[in-house]
Every structure is written in C-alpha cells, then in structure tokens.
Amino acid sequence: MTPNWTVSRLTWRAPVLAAGLCVLATLAAMAQDGSTGRPSALATLITWVPFILKGFGLNLVMSVLAMALATVSGVILGFMQISPVTLIRLPAKLVTNLFRNSPWLVILFAIMFLVPFQITLPGGDKVMVPDWLKATFGFSLPVMANVSEILRGAVASIPSGQWESAESLAFTRGQTLRHIILPQCIRRMLPPWMNWYALLTLMTPMAAILGVNEALGNTQAAMEAAGSRPEFLIPFYLFLMTIFFVVIYPISICTRRLEKRFATGS
Amino acid sequence: MMSPTGNWTVEQPIVALHGVHKSFGSLEVLKGIDIDVMKGEVVCIIGPSGSGKSTLIRTINGLTPVSKGSVKVEGIEVHDAKLDKLALRRKVGIVFQQYNLFPHRTVLQNVMMAPLLVLRENRTEVEERARALLAKVKLKDKENAYPAELSGGQQQRVAIARSLCMRPDVMLFDEVTAALDPETVKEVLVTIRDLAMDGMTCMLVTHEMGFAREISDRVYFTDAGRIVESGPPSQIFETPQDPRTQEFLSKVL
C-alpha cells in the first residue's frame, strides 16, 4: 500500500547534530581550560562521565517503567471513558481530566509525600519503597491520563459507519471494538504515544528535586565534588543535554515518519 | 432455525411497518408509515431528499429506534427491548451509501468476518461461500485486495457480498449508488438486479428512477415523513395521482 520509508535528510541529521553538540561541549571545555595545576574542566567531565551515565540509566529505567505503567492503566482508563455505563464513564473522565490538567511537579510532590517510604506486606514483612520508584509512579500518572485521552480520541475518530455496519452484521459491542475499531485505532495512537514517551523521558530529571540519583542529580553532585568551578557549568550541562538528545531525537524522527506515513496511507 | 419466528408464514408480509413514527428531538421525521412487503418482492422507496427515506429503512433492522408504531420482520417485533438482536440481524442485511467496508481487512476477510465471529460457522464452509459470493458480484480476482485499492463501485459490491454472506432473508439498500461515479453505478445496479431476480426480498431507497421502474414490484413515494402514494411502477411513473408525486417526477425524470 504505502511505499517503504523514504530515506530523507532526517536520517543523517540526527547523528550529525549529536556529534556537533559533543564537539561544542569539548570546545567549550577547552576554551575555559586556562589555568594550570588542576585538572581541566574536560578532564574532570571525563572522570565523572560513568557516574553521570549511571544516573542516566536510572532516567531510562524510570521512563520505561513509567511508560509501561501509564500505558496499561491509561488503556484501561480509556476504555472506561468510552463505556456506555455512566457509573464507569464519569469517574474515568474525572481521573483523566484531573491528571491531564495538573502540573507534573505538583503530582510528583504529592506522590512523594503521600506514598509511605515503607510498605507492610500481607505477610508482615516491611518493604522499603525507594524514591525513584515513587517518582516513577508520579511520572506515570499524567502520562496515563494522556494515554487514556489518546485512546478515547482515536475511538471517536473512527467514522460512525464502521460501528453501524458492524452492528448490522450482528457484531456485539465488544466484538466491534476488538475486531473493527481498535485495530484501526492502534496506528492512529502510535505517534502520539511515542511523543508522550519522549516527553516523559525529558521530564524524568525533575526527580532530582526530590533527591533521586538520576542524571541531573549526579551531574550536580559531580560538579560539586570536583570543586564547583564555574567553568564546569557549560561542558557538564551540555553533556547532559547531549545524552538526552541522542536518545530522544531518534524517537521524534520516528514519530514524525509514522505520522507522515499514516497521513498518506488512507 | 434456532431463532424464534413466531407464527409467521410465507403468506404473511415478511416486513410489516404499521404506524411508524420517528422524531429526532422536536423534528418529526416519520409521521405514520405503513408498508407491507411480501417474500420475494422488490420494493423501492423514492422521494425528495429529507423526506425520511433513509430513516425509514434503518428502522427495519433496528439501527434507528422508532418513537411509535410497529416494525415486524417475519412476525418478530424489531423494536421489542427483549429482542435477540442477533436473530433479527442475520435475517436482515443492509448496504449503506458509504459502503463502510472494514479498511484494515482484505475483501475476502471483510466478507467472512461476520459469519465466522458472529455465527461461529465452520471456516472452510464460510470461505467457500464467500468466494462464491465474490464471484457472483464479479470480484473473484480482488479477494486479497484492501478496500482502499478498489473503486467505489467495487467496494459497494463487496459490501453487498459481505451482507449476503450472513444469508439474510431481506436485503435493505440505502441509496447505495448515491456516492458512486456515474460509470460504476451500473455494475452495482446489475448486481442488485441479479439478486432480485434470484428471488431475494429487497427494499431500496434510491434516486435511480429508471432502475426503480425496471426492477420494482411496488414503488412508494414519500414526502415529509408520509407515504404520499404507492403502487406498481407503471402506475407511479406513468399515471401518478397525487400532485406532489407529479411535481417530483416532473423534476427528476
């Protein structure tokens, strides 16, 4: 039906841009490398790279976990939103709108202080809930609400004729949803879903405010440990931005391609 | 077989509408419709746009609930809340103006889906029947195509085959050629004519006057939610009695 993905400028633009940022970071570091006797900003950065990357690993873990949680709960919430039963639909709409229209940081703070730091299991064992897990839960809530809304919107975007012809062929509502409506929704939902994953990943450094040892927190800790010299700021932060960029930019390219592909393919 | 057919016999109307009213809010679209259709009859409903023709035909398979009155198919009241909708809908097939094929499925899958999922019939039997129907609508070579790859006329013929695969007793056609290019209208009309000649009970809402005249056993002229005049096509088209019928026909013929 649709041609294969065309090779566009986007294909080489991402790595070139990423490399450019790295070179820029290096140059910035070298430019400030005036004094002697103590390690240069660049050398300091290189020393601390594993520590920062370890933090970044936590960002990725949080984003993947939060997205998985948000997708599962968001899809359930989305289905509840399109239920013909008012008692199911209304609470789902309330929850969706509440989390879609609240600041992420407020949700994050609320979760951090509302969820206890340890939970007693039914067996009597006490389990510590690490901060990063609480933050993951906090991040998943606004994304859950948006996934719910994506599902509702996608279902609503299917022409009513599809429902009518399925109904006329004696499909039940469940059969219609499963075999007719949802398969057509998935391709419409994929680009916005990927977009929310990218946004979510970019939001994970907010966890630093709450003391989670992720990339931003570790970067700040590293600069402090190395003596808090002002010339650290540009290379360290540029490096941090670059690693996020390297992960997120390909996702946004993919999203744009999918959008284009779905827009042309009927 | 399994569905309750009441006490209906072939001597009675297969579709019977009595005093059917339908309102959308304060707008009254149907103001008391009475139609009886016997098994094997071909009935056309004609009339100006907005006269309630489509609403009328959609009440027959329960897609549009009626406000008042009775719609019976093989003696079963369609708008009975306790009705087993499945039993009704396997008796009545409908084809729409916009075809409404399932775009994510191939032609063959479109035709096979409902018998497989709804009637839970044997796959080989359904496939055989679906292939025969596609041959009948002259789309044998398109069974693996997706709807988007077909012309409007081809899609409409798939929609007819899809409906027929449920083995209905009555077929409803709601302005099925209205969205088609003029050159593909004929292939769809030929398909419907073949179906009528095979003895299928057909009800059509149509703007194709020549076709209505050719295939109908009976023509109903509707205006403003009422049946103004009805009779055999020769009478309606040659010697219409009501001034509204005369005026309408003078415009479209």
HEC assignment per residue over A160-177: HHHHHHHHHCCCCHHHHH
Task: Give A170 to chain B, closest Cα distance, Å.
Answer: 5
pLDDT one-digit tens code per residue, A35-55: 556 778 888 888 888 999 999
Res. A264 pLDDT band, cuts 50 70 90: low
Q: Nearest-CA residue of chain A relative to B171? A: A168
User: What pLDDT was estimated at residue B230?
Assistant: 94
Model confidence over A51-69: pLDDT tens digits? 999 999 999 999 999 999 9
pLDDT at residue A24, as a whole number? 76
Q: Cβ of B114 under 8 Å from any chain A Cβ?
A: yes
Of the pLDDT bands very low, low, confident and very high (cuts 50, 70, 90), residue A32 is low
At residue A34 the predicted structure's pLDDT band, cuts being 50, 70 and 90, is: low
Contact A169 B114 (CB under 8 A): yes
Side chain identity at A21, as an amino acid letter?
L
The confidence score (pLDDT) of residue A120 equals 79
By C-alpha distance, the chain A residue nearest B168 is A169
> Which residues of A are less than 8 Å from B94 in CB distance?
165, 168
B130-155 as b/e: b if 16+ CB within 10 A: bbebbebbebeebbebbbeebebbbb
Please name the member of A164, A170, A184 whose beta carbon is closest to the beta carbon of B103: A184
Q: Which of A41, A63, A227 is nearest to A135 (CA)?
A: A63
Give yes or no for residue A33 having a pLDDT over 70.
no
Residue A30: per-residue pLDDT:
65
Q: What is the rounded average pLDDT of the residues B186-210?
A: 92
**The two three-digit tokens of residue B158, written as one number:** 């798939």
Put simply, the answer to whether A162 touches B94 (Cβ < 8 Å) is: no
Query: Does the pLDDT value for residue A31 go beyond 70?
Result: no
Residue A160's closest chain B neighbor by CA? B100
Q: Which residue has the higher pLDDT, B35 or A119?
A: B35
pLDDT in tens, B115-144: 999 999 999 999 999 999 999 999 999 999
Residue B34: is its pLDDT beyond 50? Answer: yes
B168 contact A CB<8A: no
Report helix, strand or coil for A28: helix
Q: Which amino acid is at A127?
A: V
- Residues of chain A contacting B163 with CB distance shorter than 8 Å: 168-169
State the fold for domain A49-261.
Answer: MetI-like fold (1.10.3720)
What phi-psi label fits residue A211: left (phi over 0), alpha (psi between -120 and 50 degrees) or beta? left
Closest residue of chain A to B164, computed from CA coordinates: A169
* Chain B residues with beta carbon closer than 8 angstroms to that of A173: none
Distance from CA of B93 to the nearest CA of A (A): 7
**pLDDT band with cut points at 50, 70 and 90 for residue B18:** very high
Instruction: Name the residue in chain B with its Cα closest to that of A163.
Output: B100
What integer pLDDT is reported at residue A266 of this predicted model? 45
Residue with tokens 């633009």: A13
What pLDDT score does B2 carry? 42
Tokens 């479109």 locate to: B110
pLDDT band at residue B11, thresholds of 50, 70 and 90?
A: confident
Chain A positions with Cβ closer than 8 Å to B? 1, 159, 161-162, 164-171, 175, 179-180, 183-184, 266
Q: Are A170 and B89 in contact (CB < 8 Å)?
A: yes
Of A203-207, A212-216, B82-86, B135-139, minimum mean pLDDT range: B82-86
B113 touches chain A (CB under 8 A): yes
Tell me the one-letter amino acid at B95: V
Query: Residue B100 is nearest to which of A165, A170, A171, comparing CB atoms?
Result: A165
Instruction: Flag whether pLDDT at B86 surpasses 80.
Output: no
Question: Is A118 or A179 the better-scoring residue by pLDDT?
Answer: A179
The reported pLDDT for the residue numbered A47 is 87
What pLDDT sits at residue A1?
44
Nearest CA in chain B to A184: B104
**Does residue A197 have a pLDDT over 70?**
yes
pLDDT at B244 over 70: yes
